[in-house]
Structure 1
């Protein structure tokens, strides 16, 4: 059974994931590496994607976002939030496609 897409709102998903230990606020930088506060960087090969959740904006269906729950090989767990669809970041998408996939285990 997949854990994906089980929350109603982006805020609800982030809060629930924090309670489950995904407390770091990561982003993917222009170099295609996961980072937090730009002091530590992780390549996709050093990251496990546990699950993801997509959301459509209430006012505009084109305003879509996605939150990824990830874990680094050093054990840090957190989330990456990105827009989804037309406005989505190809860098983030490519990174997640190259990370170790745990969301279907």
Structure 2
């Protein structure tokens, strides 16, 4: 696991998700080419509308290319959630703004 912002350390993706949810990152986001989508709230956040607070990258045990990243995301005034993504898989389908926002966080 590679932690790029905060000082938390997790052994697994599920441990990171559990702790982040415990710390208030309760919404689940989906990645779209131009935004993050929160289906429960029927909400879409463009890159300028959210901040990546923390990121954690996990490499596959049997294959280093099989990796994922979790983003702890917030948006004013008090929306907090997580995005879990296969690391780098969808980068080509993102708008330049989305790609830059997520790349800068990793």
- TM class by shorter chain equals 0.7 to 0.9
Match of 1:17 in 2: 20
Q: Check 1:37–1:21 CA distance in 2 against 1; reply closer, same or farther (3 A cut).
A: same
- Specify which of 59, 64, 74 is matched with residue 67 of structure 2: 64
Match of 1:89 in 2: 90
- 1:68 deviates by 0.3
Aligned residues: 98
- 1:36 deviates by 1.1
Match of 2:30 in 1: 27
On the 8 A contact 1:4/1:52 being kept in 2, the answer is no
After superposition, what is the alpha-carbon deviation per residue over 1:11-37, rounded to whole angstroms, capped at 9, x for unaligned? 11100100100011101213x111111
Structure 2: unaligned runs, 5 residues or longer? none
TM-score when normalising by structure 1: 0.78
Q: Check 1:92–1:77 CA distance in 2 against 1; reply closer, same or farther (3 A cut).
A: farther
Match of 2:80 in 1: 77
Structure 1: unaligned runs, 5 residues or longer? none
Task: Describe the SS at the equivalent of 2:14.
Answer: helix
